[in-house]
Structure 1
Amino acid sequence: MENYLNALLTDVMLKEEEIGDICDKACEILLNEPNMVNVPSPVLICGDIHGQYYDLLTIFKINGTPKSRKYIFLGDYVDRGANGLECFCLLLVYKIMYPSNIFLIRGNHESKDLTKIYGFYDEVAKKYGNSRVWRYCCDVFECLINACLVNGRIFCVHGGLSPSLLDIDEINRIYRLNKLPDNHFVNDLMWSDPDELNPGFSKNSRGAGYTFGSEVTKKFLEINNLTMLVRSHQLAFTGYQMHFKEKCAVTVWSAPNYCYRCGNLASVLRVDENDITGKNFLIFKDTPQKPSSVGLPGYFL
C-alpha cells in the first residue's frame, strides 16, 4: 500500500490492476465493520468532498493523516469534481493501512446510477478508456458503512433522518449488501435534509428521502440518548450550518469553492476527547487546483 499511497500523493496515475487490488482489499476490511460503527473521540468529521482532491489533501495537511489522526468521512467522495477517483482511492488506501483511524460512510453519490449522471463514470472512462475501474469502485460503494456514533452520543450520517427509523439499533440489523427498496430507511439516511419550518417529516423535493424538522429530530435524539446529529449532503457557504433553535443538528461541508466556482468556505468538525456536543469547527479555504489532465495517459492529452 505504501507504493500506492506514494503514487497518489505525487500525481502518478495508478494502473487498473492496482486500483482493483485496492478495491478488493478495502471491501474485505469494510465488510468486517458493522453498518453503524461506534467511534471514540478524539475524531475529525469531514463532509462532502466531491472529487476535489487537492482540497482533500489540504485537510490532511492541516490536521494530519489517518496515520496519526482519526477521521470520519460522511460520504459523497466522487462526482462533480475532476478527481473523484483519486479522492476515493486515497481514502481507501488509508482505510487499508489504518483501518481503526478512518471510517467511510456511504453518501447518495456512491451509487451506480448517480455516478453515471454526475461525472464519476465519465471521469474514469476518460482516464482509462473503459468502465472496469468504475465497476471496481461501485463494488466498494456497496460495502461502505451507513452511519457512525461518536462516543455513543453523536449520530453521523450522510443525509439525515427517516420516519421509518426510530431505534438506531435497527441499522445494524440489516445486511447492507442486499438490494433494499427505495423507501427503506437506509435510503433516507443518505438523502434526507433538515427543514427549519416544518417540525415533522415531509416529502423531499429531491425525489428521495424526506425533510425532517426540529420536533422529530429532538424525539429521535431523546429516544436514542443522543446529543447531536451530524450530516453533510448540502452546501453550507460558511463551511457548516447549525439547524433548529436547539442547534441539535449540523451540516458539515468539506468542499471549499464547490465545483470550483461557488466561493464557499469549508470545514472539518473536531470532536475532542469526551466531547458530546460536536460544535468545534475548523474552517479552511480552497486550494489551487492542478489541471484536470494531470495523470491522464498521453492519448487523452
Structure 2
Amino acid sequence: MTTTSDAKAGADRQKMKVGIWLNNVIERFKTWTPKNCQKLFSEKELLELCYRARESFWKSSVRLEIKAPVKICGDIHGQYEDLLALLELNGWPPETKYLFLGDYVDRGPFSVEVISLLFAYQLLYPDKVFLLRGNHESRPVNMQYGFFLECRKRFSTTLYDAYQMAFYCMPLCAVISDKIICMHGGISEDLVDLKQLDKVERPCDIPDIGVIADLTWADPDTSVQMYGESNRGAGRFFGPEAVKKFLAMHNLELVVRAHQVVYDGYQFFADRQLVTIFSAPFYCGTMDNAAAVMTVDEELVCSFTVMRPNLKKIKDKEKENQEKKETEQDKEKKVMVIKVLVLTVLVDLNQS
C-alpha cells in the first residue's frame, strides 16, 4: 500500500532527477560552439524540453508578477553567441534574475540553441528566469523567417511543432513590483483592466487585432498622439499621449518593451515613460547596433548595460558578403561567356 509520504518521496526523487538533467543540459549549452552544435543534443532531449516548458507556461499566469531586482532583455533572434556573451557580462542565473521579452527565434542561425537554453533555465529556476512571448513565437511568422527551415534541416518538423505548442502557452506580459509593465510589442487601447489577461485561454495563437496582438506587435510612433493603424499588418501604433493615459489608468510608472532595433540597444519614448530594449547586437549581420540589458534595482532605479558590436566581426562579415557577391558575379560572367561560346558555335554551324 502506497502512503502519502511514499508518494511525496517519489515526487521529490523525480524532481531531483529532472533537476540534475537540466543542469547537465545547461552545462552542455555553455560548451557550445558552431562546430559541435549538431552533437550536443538529441531530438528526444529537445522534445522533452519543449513538453516540460509547455506544461510550465500553461500552469503560470498570462500576466506575471515579478519582484525587483531583475534584468530585462529584448530580442535575441537566434544570435546564440551573443546571448552567451550577454549572460557572461550581466551574470548567470540563478544569481541574476532575468525577464526576457520575446523574439528568441528567426533571423539568426541558432534559434534552436537560444530557445532551448532559455527553456532549460526557466524550468530549472522558475522564480529566476521569466520568458514572455514575442510576435515571432507564432507559427505564421516563424514559418517564414527561418525557424521552420532550421528545425527541418537540423532535426525535424516534429520538433518544430513541439516548440510551437510551447509558444502557444507563454505569458504575454509582466509587471515588476506593481509599477513597471513589460511586454514584447506595446500597450493596447483595449486593455482597460490588467485582470482581463487572466481570462486569456491558452494554448492560443496571436491574432491580427486586439489585446494579444497589441502586446506582441504594437509600436510607439510620434506621428500619432493616441492610437493609429500600423503598417505591420498586426497590432497598432500608439503615441506619447496614449502611453501617459495607459500608465495613469493602471497606476504604473514605466512601460518596457522590445520589438524594434534601436541603435544604442535602448531608446526612450514619451518623456521617458517608455523604453525599448533590443538585445541582439550587429543584428542580422548587417546593422551596427548595440545590445542592451536593463537593470531594475530594489528601489526601481533603472540602468543599462550596453554591449557594442565587435568591429572585427562586422568587417569580417562585410568581407564575406563582398566575396560572396563577387563569386556570384563571377558565376554570372562565366554563364554569359558560355552563352556567347554556344552562340558562336551555332553561328559557325549555320554558316557551314
User: Does the alignment reach a TM-score above 0.5?
Assistant: yes
- Equivalent runs, 1:178-197 vs 2, <5 Å: 178=204, 181-197=207-223
Question: Quick one: which amino acid aligns to residue 194 of structure 2?
Answer: I
Question: Quick one: which amino acid aligns to residue 272 of structure 1?
Answer: D
* Alpha-carbon contact 1:193-1:211 (below 8 Å) kept: yes
Deviations 1:113-135 (A, max 9, x none): 1111000111111212x211111
**Cα distance in 1 for residues equivalent to 2:105 and 2:28:** 19
Shift of 1:24: 1.2
**Cα distance in 1 for residues equivalent to 2:236 and 2:56:** 31
> Equivalent of 1:139, from 152, 156, 165?
165
**Cα distance in 2 for residues equivalent to 1:103 and 1:116:** 24
Question: Quick one: which amino acid aligns to residue 62 of structure 2?
Answer: N
Shift of 1:156: 0.1
Shift of 1:33: 1.1
**Cα distance in 2 for residues equivalent to 1:127 and 1:160:** 34
* Alpha-carbon contact 1:49-1:78 (below 8 Å) kept: yes
Question: Quick one: which amino acid aligns to residue 217 of structure 2?
Answer: W
Shift of 1:176: 2.9
Q: Are 1:105 and 2:126 matched, yes or no?
A: no
**Cα distance in 2 for residues equivalent to 1:161 and 1:223:** 12
* Alpha-carbon contact 2:227-2:242 (below 8 Å) kept: yes
Deviations 1:10-49 (A, max 9, x none): 2243111000111111122212211011100110000000
**Cα distance in 2 for residues equivalent to 1:78 and 1:55:** 13
Q: Which sections of structure 2, spanning at least 5 residues, go unmatched?
A: 1-21, 33-38, 318-352
User: Where does structure 1 differ by over 3 angstroms across 4 or more consecutive aligned residues?
Assistant: 178-182, 286-289
Shift of 1:181: 4.6
* Alpha-carbon contact 1:8-1:14 (below 8 Å) kept: no
**Cα distance in 1 for residues equivalent to 2:273 and 2:225:** 13
Partner of 1:15: 42
* Higher RCO (CA < 8 A, seq sep 6+): 1
Shift of 1:179: 5.3
Deviations 1:195-232 (A, max 9, x none): 12310100001011000001111111001000000000
* Alpha-carbon contact 1:22-1:93 (below 8 Å) kept: yes
**Cα distance in 2 for residues equivalent to 1:252 and 1:176:** 27
**Cα distance in 2 for residues equivalent to 1:45 and 1:186:** 21
Question: Quick one: which amino acid aligns to residue 87 of structure 1?
Answer: V
Partner of 1:3: 24
- With over 3 angstroms needed to count, the CA separation of the structure-2 counterparts of 1:179 and 1:283, relative to structure 1, is closer
Partner of 1:150: 176
**Cα distance in 1 for residues equivalent to 2:30 and 2:285:** 21
Partner of 2:294: 269
Structure whose alpha-carbon radius of gyration is higher:
2
* Alpha-carbon contact 2:64-2:174 (below 8 Å) kept: yes
Partner of 1:166: 192
Which secondary structure state, in structure 1, belongs to the residue aligned with residue 276 of structure 2? strand
Deviations 1:168-212 (A, max 9, x none): 221122223245753231111100000123101000010110000
> Equivalent of 1:78, from 101, 105, 108?
105
**Cα distance in 2 for residues equivalent to 1:136 and 1:180:** 17
Shift of 1:7: 2.2
Question: Quick one: which amino acid aligns to residue 109 of structure 1?
Answer: H
Partner of 1:253: 278
Partner of 1:285: 308
Q: Are 1:34 and 2:57 matched, yes or no?
A: no
- With over 3 angstroms needed to count, the CA separation of the structure-2 counterparts of 1:135 and 1:180, relative to structure 1, is closer
**Cα distance in 1 for residues equivalent to 2:236 and 2:209:** 10
Partner of 2:232: 206
Partner of 2:265: 239
Q: TM-score, normalised by structure 2?
A: 0.78
